Structure 1
Amino acid sequence: MGNALFIVWRESVEAILVVSILYAWIRARGDDRIGVGHLWAGVGGGLLLAGVLAVAMLGLQSQLAGDALEAFQAGIVFVAAGLITHMVLWMRHHGRHMKRELESGLANAAGGASAALLAAIAVGREGAETVLFLYGLGVEQSGEALRQMLAGAGIGFVLALATAWLIQSGARWLPSRLFFRATEIILFLLAAALLVSGVERLINMEWLPPLLEPVWDSSPLLSDGSTVGGIAAAFAGYRAQPSLMVLIAWFGYWGLVALLGRLPKRAAA
């Protein structure tokens, strides 16, 4: 429940902030050519795009079985981990200039259709990523666990509305820079956890060798079946008895994140 809540919260905040920037610019400009109605049409289009993706994924899954289904679900998990990582790195590089870039693009647009397009792209992108993230989390859930995950997603959206309002209102105790810096760390941890889950699926399918299993056993200190260990497993990819292949993937991921995080700084220098 907690990881679904966090993902929907973070993704929804980004989409809501983009729409809020566009809405504030339209109202301040007072230009009849760019109506608020076009903006909401774009939001609806973005939500429709995300819904179509969800239906397509569920339809494809219903046609698969056995190893094919396992491979498809593992692939979605890897895609979700990659999208989370890309999204965080993109926001780190562009987030501080996002408001200016959006307003500049809207100022150069010819009419309300462009406002709708910007909103549709923003909402559709965040919505599609959320669908993939939730699918990646939900492939191993069923029954009550799945219902709790969906409930967490709903709570996350409500919290996102409140968070976006606080950020837009300029609340000093929740500046946008602090919010995105703290949440990007948690999102990186979530992506690492998804990566570990995907690697373990490939090991179980015998597509990857475990190399050495287990490398250690920290169950006496923190079992990943306990409450705290389960949270660490879901949010950071912790394993009490990890295989060497899982450790290579986990440490390799953080090495790649560190490298990609440094590239924009070097380019700017």
Structure 2
Amino acid sequence: MLVPFLIMLREGVEAALIVGIIASYLHKTGRSAWMPVVWIGVFLALAVSMLVGTVLQLLRAEFPQRAQEMMEAGIGLIAVVVLTSMVFWMRKAARSIKNELHHSIDAALSDHYRGLGLIVMVFFAVAREALESIFFLLAIFQQSEGSAALIGALLGVLVSVAIGYGIFRGGLRLNLRRFFRWTGVFILFVAAGLLMKSVASLHEAGLWNHLQAIAFDISSVLPDDGPIGSVLAGMFGYSSSPTVSEVVVYFLFLIPALILFLLPHRAGSQSIAANKSA
């Protein structure tokens, strides 16, 4: 429940930050009448993302076992890519996202099809975040039983909407730079766990049979089905007896990703914290 909550919280705050910057800029430039067009773009993005997720889930249910394992591995790998790209994109784009959105709005409202241009701009901005969320949730739901993951995701969305509204109204001061930094670290650990589970699914599908010896077995100390093991498995893909290939891909991904993400960013750019005044 905690993982989908935190991921959807971060994704939701990103989307709310984008919509908030757009809404604030339209208001400050006397173009608030275009806000209904913005909401059309937002709802279209959400509808398309939900449609993609529903189709993928229905297709998975129709596949035989081997094909399901292949699809689970594929969705897991896609989730790893989008989660990783998400944290690195925000690390880079956060410093200029406000100005870029302002220029995009001006360009969208300066052509002959101003309403359509604004809808398209908002659609792609929000759809990126929504599709990232869909692939992540599909990967998590494949590994989770019950409704806890869904409840966590919904709570994350609701809290992110409240935060976004508070930022927009100016009554909430959130250190967005620190927020995105530490949630980014958390997400990289989650992505490493998803990658490890994807390798296991590829093995179950018969597509990866190398380095399948057990690297270590600590099931007597921290079993998968124990209280702590279950939490770690749900959050970070923990396994008490992983194979050599699972351990190798886990650390080959996680160590370089953390180093690159935590390296000091080049100075001279605007901090993301400035965006919250939008």
> Is the shorter-chain TM-score for this pair beyond 0.5, marking a shared fold?
yes
What fraction of aligned residue pairs are identical, expressed as a percent? 29
Once the two structures are TM-superposed, the CA of residue 81 in structure 1 deviates from its matched residue by 1.1
Q: 1:216 maps to which residue? A: 216
Distance 1:212 1:50, change over 3 A: closer
Counterparts of 1:187 and 1:99, CA distance in 2:
24
Q: 1:129 maps to which residue? A: 132
Equivalent positions of 1:20-39 (< 5 A) are: 20-31=20-31, 35-39=34-38
Once the two structures are TM-superposed, the CA of residue 114 in structure 1 deviates from its matched residue by 2.5
Please tell me whether the aligned partners of residues 189 and 254 of structure 2 are also in contact (alpha carbons under 8 angstroms). no
Secondary structure of the residue aligned to 1:225 is coil
1:148 aligns with 2:148: yes
Choose from 110, 115, 120 the match for 2:118: 115
User: How many residues were matched structurally?
Assistant: 262
Give the aligned residue type for 1:149: A
Counterparts of 2:135 and 2:218, CA distance in 1:
32
Give the aligned residue type for 2:129: E
Q: 1:6 maps to which residue? A: 6
Give the aligned residue type for 2:115: G
Give the aligned residue type for 1:104: H
Once the two structures are TM-superposed, the CA of residue 219 in structure 1 deviates from its matched residue by 3.2
Give the aligned residue type for 1:162: A
Please tell me whether the aligned partners of residues 42 and 116 of structure 1 are also in contact (alpha carbons under 8 angstroms). yes
Please tell me whether the aligned partners of residues 188 and 258 of structure 2 are also in contact (alpha carbons under 8 angstroms). no
Give the aligned residue type for 1:122: A
Counterparts of 1:98 and 1:44, CA distance in 2:
21
Q: Deviations over 1:30-57 (max 9, x none)?
A: 137x611111111111112112212221
Please tell me whether the aligned partners of residues 16 and 161 of structure 2 are also in contact (alpha carbons under 8 angstroms). yes
1:106 aligns with 2:105: yes
CA-atom RMSD in angstroms = 2.4
Distance 1:233 1:118, change over 3 A: same
Q: 1:139 maps to which residue? A: 142
Q: 2:66 maps to which residue? A: 67
Please tell me whether the aligned partners of residues 210 and 246 of structure 1 are also in contact (alpha carbons under 8 angstroms). no
Please tell me whether the aligned partners of residues 22 and 115 of structure 1 are also in contact (alpha carbons under 8 angstroms). no
Deviating 4+ runs (over 6 angstroms): 262-266
Secondary structure of the residue aligned to 1:206 is coil
Q: 1:226 maps to which residue? A: 226
Once the two structures are TM-superposed, the CA of residue 256 in structure 1 deviates from its matched residue by 4.5
Counterparts of 2:165 and 2:36, CA distance in 1:
21
Secondary structure of the residue aligned to 2:44 is helix
Q: Greater CA deviation, 226-235 or 88-97?
A: 226-235
Q: 1:48 maps to which residue? A: 47
Counterparts of 2:74 and 2:153, CA distance in 1:
22
Distance 1:102 1:81, change over 3 A: same
Give the unaligned 5+ runs of structure 2.
269-278
Secondary structure of the residue aligned to 1:108 is helix
Counterparts of 1:102 and 1:223, CA distance in 2:
49
Counterparts of 2:159 and 2:2, CA distance in 1:
13
Counterparts of 1:233 and 1:148, CA distance in 2:
14
Once the two structures are TM-superposed, the CA of residue 116 in structure 1 deviates from its matched residue by 1.8
Distance 1:179 1:170, change over 3 A: farther
Counterparts of 1:42 and 1:205, CA distance in 2:
39
Counterparts of 1:124 and 1:106, CA distance in 2:
17
Please tell me whether the aligned partners of residues 39 and 116 of structure 1 are also in contact (alpha carbons under 8 angstroms). yes
Q: Greater CA deviation, 131-140 or 225-234?
A: 225-234
Once the two structures are TM-superposed, the CA of residue 99 in structure 1 deviates from its matched residue by 1.1
Distance 1:255 1:6, change over 3 A: same
Distance 1:258 1:190, change over 3 A: closer
Distance 1:177 1:263, change over 3 A: closer
Q: Greater CA deviation, 51-60 or 212-221?
A: 212-221
Give the unaligned 5+ runs of structure 1.
none
Counterparts of 2:261 and 2:57, CA distance in 1:
34
Counterparts of 2:99 and 2:54, CA distance in 1:
35
Q: Greater CA deviation, 238-247 or 38-47?
A: 238-247
